[in-house]
Structure 1
């Protein structure tokens, strides 16, 4: 099946959205992929080229405030808004069951969506999505480096990330200002911090009733909760030569681990 780029008009919470997406029809259970802050659907476009996913349908889209997606009111964007957007996208496309993949902001969005509708998902690959306060090394900058000017905040944020010792931080920083609208940043970051501090995210993640994998760059192998995840039947996948952006640093290993994990998940019939 051919890969198509499409635009989907939606209205979420009274806000008009033009969702830019890339997808493919096919046989089997689809994979739905949610990107992180400062990234776009193109983070996942290579899924169409990997033989392990040949023929499998997939869908990725630019979140409101990011990439080519348009949003009628940037100030309304928050993580809960992104969750409701994701639900609307899946509903509009008639996706009743799928494998879920989310990175960082997209991982948090995916977690809250899966917690709300667990029967919709067969598996969840969480690529360094927020599970605890320590995960807010990017989003907490809205508190630690406040600015009343969204443009100035994004410029300063970008420069701080550029100087980070994490793999691919400079590559990521080079395109942030082209991929995210400054007017959307405060609502996204403040809600990420609030949910990470008070949203009981770890309990939600460990309570999901389907296979879960937590995928992370080996630079972040000091995350305090990795042992707890492993003790609760969460598969751990450390991607070599990577930090928070393994899709930029070591995409080959990333896709191999995701493909292997999904291939071992029973289909809808077996699970019921």
Structure 2
């Protein structure tokens, strides 16, 4: 008898942000195939809260530049375990479908005749900026946002400071990304926030502009994991310096003057 696979989003790493449906899937699992980021933090957090899971945990965690288990190996493992009749949870950081390759795992399992259930999770693209008091949209400041990785081609990203950009896995390419975005409509003075290790022990926020953030990152030794937010919504953050705060918008600039008027 073939088992099934549940693709469960672990969220950003705080066990309190795991969904109830995700918790129920973990409790019913025979085997948990877990990522490093998010997933491991949730399992540790559940254990600390006294939640006992009977499942065997298989760690397939990926480190930057090194894949402990290749994606093809993970796909094959999920099918193998399910064909042994086991109830398998593939515990993925954030949401399985936001830069998590969940779609690939779903397709592979379905092609092998294995039933798959998807349990969404809270993506770090939204939850980590919230830690720094940054909403990705805000009336009068931003009406849209785009989520990309630092490895994507961002030259084609349109919009100004009222179109928020969220960079995931972007620390290594931060200098290039900042320079590229500064050349566009956003300009060099566009606010930027970097939130390191969201919901983790090294949680820290750095705020600057596209012109300054690379130097700040080097000076402060910013490390992955981190989420980068670009746009005027950064001005709302309590971590924003006085010169970048919403009340300090430069009304001599046509763009910020319009935004300031909408705020009033």
Q: Tell me which interval the TM-score lies in, with the shorter structure as reference length.
A: 0.3 to 0.5
Higher helix fraction (1 or 2): 1
Greater gyration radius: 2
